[in-house]
Structure 1
Amino acid sequence: MQLQKLIYTEENLQLINRSFLFGDAVWVSFFVRNGQLIMAEESYFFLMASMRKMRLNIPLSYTLEFFQELFQREVLDKGIQNGIIQLMAYRKQEDKPLPKSETAFYFEIEESEDILAVKGNIELDLIKEINVNANLLSNIRVHSPENIYAQIYSKENDLDDVILLNPNKKIARSIFGNLLFLQDNVIKIPKQTEGAYISPLMENFVTFIHKNKLAEIEEAEIIAFESQKAEEILRISDEKGVHSVSKIRNKTFENTRFSEMVQKWAENFI
């Protein structure tokens, strides 16, 4: 069966807009699993928080119910069973002064495998030519030239992703998501103050791990060398889903324990 890809735009779409011109936009993901919207509330509140950080005007119509009904009509009712809805909110290009510019959005979704399953193994490496910031906007998905540079670098070096450091040479995140490092019974996660993404998907997973006492969670400042000491590494991306890291340079990693945890997490939604 061929997988669907759907794109939704509001009426009166301006092709020349501030997102196109200046990257004046923010991305947030919503998640579809087994024909249902899951974690809708967490994703919605993250959308509102991200828009406030970007100082986007939030229309009164942008309620949780509005987006739930929209996704039901435009996604679920059209047969999408599993996938990640990528929603972009942006400022229109208007004659109004910048703070008063109206907000618009569009979204796209492509059917995929179960978003709560480990989709496969990926190979990473460290990139040193650039770093990412650790400020108010570093934790949300906004225009990032560093991500574009890193994506090209990874393709040229036959990598699936790269580890990005902050200016203090601590691990921030990867291009597409956050990294979780398992050693013994401790899962280390880079702090948001180090440049890690805020991720409803990862936060839901980490909360499940903590509540069920499957491992100890530690938010930490992590130096690059510690990635080589981990027994297993997981990448959780609101954009790409869940992947285990199989290799960083010459070091290979297992994926047994994280895979078991992810499977238990997925079963929790049934």
Structure 2
Amino acid sequence: MQKIIYTQDNLQLLNRSFLFGDSVWVSFFIRNGQVIMAEESYFFLMASMRKMRLNIPLTYTLEFFQELLQNEVLSKGVQNGIVQLMAYRKQDEKPLAKSETAFFFEVDETEDVLRIQGNVELDLIKEINVNANLLSNIRVHSPENIYAQIYAKENDLDDVILLNPNKKIARSIFGNLLFLQDNVIKIPKQTEGAYISPLMENFVTFVHKNKLAEIEEAEIIAFESQKAEEILRISDEKGVHSVSKIRNKTFENTRFSEMVQKWAENFI
């Protein structure tokens, strides 16, 4: 199937996203021919746009995006996938704060977004770190991500662990890391530079409500990644993957697999 790309208002090459990275990314999720977590994704889009001080048109309602995805994605036969939507500030003559906003999206068809889609191998990167401020929690232009992706490719890795300036684990390139030890799942705090993730928050809420494990938001030093029994990566961009190896240590994925399976089976 041909990749679906939607552009609002005839995307111009000279726009502020292309020139300055002046944009935000948010994912919408398609499962079994339906948009799931639509409200969570929509409110995250609105929050991300506000943090970047993008003007939010009155037409950008939840119903607007639901109808758009129905007409431009679901009606074309997409059953499972991740919609990567980017909202950006136009390049116009208005003062920056009053510039108009537009968006485009592309669809990556995947397997069930609520299931583990494979294993990934990680390592720690020390040459760079990521900030832990207001914009660190949303998906914006990140030179650190670009550098880290090249580093991972050159070292035959799928992803890397990124630290903040205090040498605490923030996130990976593509998403958040969950560390399971005994009956506790540790997750880096957002104040440490972790992404806000509707997908992860939905999973964590399910685990907590069903008492499958205790959830602890924590400051996590790099060494603790080696102490974990299992590690899960949840990415709004890539989906859910288990971490199979970090350096010389391998990890199981039995318990996280069971939790994710129950999450998928009970998802409404």
Structure 1 length as normaliser, TM-score?
0.98
Q: Which of 226, 233, 236 in structure 2 is aligned with 1:235? A: 233
CA RMSD after TM alignment: 0.7
The question of 1:55 aligning with 2:53 is answered yes
Secondary structure of 1:264's aligned partner = helix
Which contiguous aligned blocks of 4+ residues in structure 1 show a shift greater than 2 angstroms?
none
* Paired residues for 1:58-73 under 5 Å: 58-73=56-71
Which letter does structure 1 place at the counterpart of 2:52?
M
SS in 1 for 2:5: strand
Q: How does 1:56-205 map to 2 (within 5 A)?
A: 56-205=54-203
Give the Cα separation in 1 of the matches to 2:167 and 2:121. 21
Q: Is the 8 A contact 1:4 1:111 kept in 2?
A: no
Count of matched residue pairs: 268
Give the C-alpha shift of residue 33 in structure 1. Answer: 0.2
Q: Distance in 2 between matches of 1:4 and 1:116?
A: 23
Q: How far apart, CA to CA, are the structure 2 residues paired with 1:60 and 1:12?
A: 20
Name the CA shift for 1:182/1:235 in 2 (closer, same or farther; >3 Å).
Answer: same
Which shows bigger deviation, 12-21 or 166-175?
Answer: 12-21
Deviation track 1:160-217 (CA, whole Å, cap 9, x = no partner) reads: 0000000000000000000000000000000000000000000000000000000000
Match of 2:223?
225
Counterpart residue identity of residue 17, structure 2: S
- Residue 4 of structure 1 contacts residue 80 of structure 1 at CA under 8 Å; is this kept in 2? no
Structure 2: unaligned runs, 5 residues or longer: none
Separation (CA, whole Å) in 2 of partners of 1:159 and 1:214: 30
1:171 aligned partner, one-letter code: I
CA contact (8 A) 1:87 1:105 kept: yes
Structure 1 unaligned residues grouped into runs of 5+: none
- Using the TM superposition, give the Cα deviation of residue 11 of structure 1 relative to its aligned residue in structure 2, in angstroms: 2.5
SS in 1 for 2:136: coil
